[in-house]
Structure 1
Amino acid sequence: MFPFHRPSPSGRMMLAAGLCLVVLGASGCTRIRTHQGYQVDKLLVDSVQPGIDNRASVEGTLGRPSFTSQFGEQDWYYVSRNMRQLAFANPRPVDQTVLRVRFDAAGNVVAVDRMGLDQVAKISPEGDKTPTLGRNRSLFQEIFGNIGAVGAGGMGGGAGGNTGPGPNGS
């Protein structure tokens, strides 16, 4: 028979430390799910009825809105978003609900609209440079381009005395 060999205490410590490193390394690759904003309760949202509810009853049912419209207080918005992130990548939305409650001038509910993630505009930059108007100069031209231009003729900072009439006309 083969003799059974027990690891030494230092070997057990190394094995435990290695196991801890593997567990910690694997936990960095897990998906992180987060929720931002309002918790949508379908039953409460469906209970808000146009023509029946007003601002006070909507606030009592749904709570304070995430934000209100900027031009007057005719619309209230409740924003809910679920995000997912893998390890150190940028978080990205997987689900979004924007609940818009519209009010008339008297404060009564006119309509309740829902918008999802399909309404979000995806903006991608054009290349890695921002197009600008003006001269296209390199870094060295930007840094050293004004050397010798200060005080040059026609540049407004000329050397010499005042050759024209002064502010009083003399």
Structure 2
Amino acid sequence: MGAYMNPNILDKDNILACSKALQNAEIIYQDFSNISPKPKDFVYIDPPYQPINNTSFTKYTKLGFTETDQVKLYEKCRALNKKGVYFISNSDSDFILYHPERHPNCLVIESKWQQSGGSVDEQYTYLVLNIKKQGIYDTIIIIDGNGYKKEALKCFKDQVGSNLIEVFSMSEFTSWVNKKKI
């Protein structure tokens, strides 16, 4: 797993917590173009990563996943979001994210991967925060793992201020969404 010498792949407590939180969830796996979630449904999207250069891997499917496909995915998400569907994704790209006209109501929080041992955000200097330039939105902060610095979390909280809804681990967030029926 990347540059880590001893990755903690099996996090038994987290897996059990996620399993418990998802007991009443309906999980559907299908092509994004065919989804039809109802308002307040929660959709997790793990789209193919936008290539960072001409030799990057792009063969996620027989036909690949082109910039045209990325735009179609974006447009589908935007249309569904207007109907009250919630999304989370772990993929971004300059092609989609850094066009304000494409995401005028989206809060983007970036963090750079750390290339040496330790957690992704172990060192505060690796965090790149662009919350203020995105505007003021109700915000949920999701932090996975326990390696983050308290100063980084404080900075997130300070920047979103009274718009902070909650801070969760991913398993806590899943459980909260399930209980809220949002």
**Greater share of helix:** 2
TM-score of the superposed pair, with normalisation by structure 1: 0.19
> Whose Rg is larger?
1
Higher RCO by CA contacts (8 Å cutoff, separation 6 or greater) = 2
**Greater share of strand:** 1
TM-score of the superposed pair, with normalisation by structure 2: 0.19
